[in-house]
Structures are given as structure tokens and as C-alpha cells.
Amino acid sequence: MQGMGRVGNIAHPYEATGMDWDDLRVFLAVARTESLSTAGKRLKIDPATVGRRIARLEEATKARLFTKSPQGYALTEEGARLVPHAEQAERATLSAEESLSGPGGLTGLIRLGAPDGCANYLLPQVLARICDANPGLEVQIVALPRVFNLSKREADMAIAVSRPEAGRLTVQKLTDYRLHLAASQYYLATHPPILTPQDLTGHRIVGYIPDMIFDKELDYLAEIGIGPATLTSNSVSVQLNWLRHGAGVGVVHDFALPAAPNLTRFLTDRISLTRAFWLIRHESDARLDRLNRFADQLTREARAEMGRLESALRQDETRA
């Protein structure tokens, strides 16, 4: 796509400038990260080269595309007008690459954002199987306890714990999952018995930091009607490790229990939560066959893995 006069098939304000796709790719990276250095890391080129490419693009367009501030590089009005056309060129390039690669296995890099519970205890084995079936595929899991900004391309797709109701997004349910109260066998053996929800009074509760609960679906203790928690973290993994070490009782994802075999669920007939993971993509990616195929495989494998884990958990508790 060297020397294109149009971005994709749409005319834009800089039609006669002969812009280079590689420069537009750099432009998009800076627009999304608001940083030369971060864009350079994403593109695997040095920041100085990023700066030169932006300067070359500004010379070609005869427009200033960014203003620099202490917070980073912000789009100017001209830069903002260029973004949708550059994104269309990006989609056209990806579609062309997909059509040339044919219907074989998935290849290239896909970055997936996910909450840390899902990222730590469900996705590793699921994505390992997908990569085994697609040797040319490279996957990055970005595990953060927050919602991802797909417009800034922090990830190609993201998993969330509630279905978004706004934004230019496509959403599909990945899988349902369940949560129950759990504690270590040592803790349950050395503290007063818990036979009813009322017996939780006086026990130390592990949970989320209240003002860092980024989604109402994570406010488990309020829904159950227990707490407040006295050991808190915004990380599911930290909470699970507290429970593993006998620090108290808390709500645990059933699918995480294989990683903590010394934990025991209790009051399962009285307290049980059901949630869902949602797979979210930018709507402009809906026609990219590669991402569609990955999403289909991810959904299929996640549901199969969830079914396997729940079945194994029931069998273990029956034997116990």
C-alpha cells in the first residue's frame, strides 16, 4: 500500500498527499497510546523513528496531527479527522492479509484483555489448546482488574464480567460461571463451624477493596449480605492466596479451585452466585475473518473447559 492517495476506498482531506501505510500505522499507534515510546514498544521500533515517521506524515498531509503536553501526545482536530480513514486502511490491510493466507490455521498476534481471575485460572489452559491447534498463532493476555479501552486498541478483544450497553462494540457471551464461599481446610478446622449464613458473623472475610470494585457484578458480599471484608484486594489472585493460607473465608470462582486444592466450598446449598464472561470487540472488526475464527474457537474451548472443571469439582466433592 505504498504511496496511496486514498485510505481504503474512502476519499479523505489529504487525498493527494501519497501517504504511506507504514506511516499511518505509526500514526494510529501514537493516537491510541498518546506516547512515542509506548507506540514504539507496540510496533517494535525506537521512539526516535516513531517521531520521524509522524513528522514525515505531518509534512505529507501539511497538517499538524498531534500536540505535545505533559500528559503525552494528543490528537489535533486534523489528527482526529484522519483516525477513521487510517483505521479503514488498517482493516483493509488485515483483510488482504487474511485473504492471502487462505483458510488454514490462525496466525499472527492477538492481544486479549481479561480480568485477572479469568486471565489466571481459565484462559491459560484454553489458549494453550487453541495455540496447539494453530502453531502460527501468538497470543498475549493482558490481565488487569478493569475495563479495557478497545477504541485505543489496548487489546484486539476483551473479556468483561458484565455486558456493555454503550459504545461501538460487538458482544457475545463467552461462558457462564459460578462462585461459592470457600475457606482452607485448616481454617474451617480451627474456627467455629459455619452451618448457616448467620454463622459467618465473627469470621474474617476476604474480598474486594470496596472503592476499587470496577463493576457491580463483582460486589459479591453486598449481594450475599455479609461483610464488611477485613482483608481486601483488587486482585482475585491475592484474595485466593489469602484463603489458601488460612486467612479467612471469601467468595471464590469455582473454576479457580483446581489451583487451590486445599480450599473447601461450604454453604453451597444456601449461597451460590452465577455470573458470565462477555467477549467484546470493536464493531469495525466484525468483518475480520481471523478474529471471528479466534472468537469462535475461544468461545467453544472456554465453554468446554468450564464444563470439564465443574464436572471434576462435583466428582471430587462426591468422593469426599
Per-residue pLDDT of the chain (320 residues; tens, 9 = 90+): 333 333 333 334 334 345 778 888 899 889 888 899 989 988 889 999 999 999 999 988 899 999 988 888 999 999 888 988 887 777 677 666 555 455 567 888 899 999 999 999 999 999 999 999 999 999 999 987 666 666 666 788 999 999 988 778 889 999 999 999 999 999 999 999 999 999 999 899 999 999 999 899 999 999 999 989 999 999 999 999 999 999 999 999 999 999 999 999 999 999 999 999 999 998 877 778 888 999 999 999 999 999 998 888 877 777 66
Contact criterion met (CB below 8 Å) for 145 and 214: yes
Contact criterion met (CB below 8 Å) for 54 and 20: no
Whole-angstrom CA distances from 149 to 112, 185, 201 are 12, 40, 40
- pTM of the full structure: 0.70
Query: Grid cell 469495525 — which residue?
Result: 284
pLDDT score recorded for residue 67: 92
All structural domains of the chain? 15-101 (1.10.10.10), 108-173+276-313 (3.40.190.10), 176-274 (3.40.190.10)
Q: Is the dihedral of CA 10, 14, 16, 18 positive or negative?
A: negative
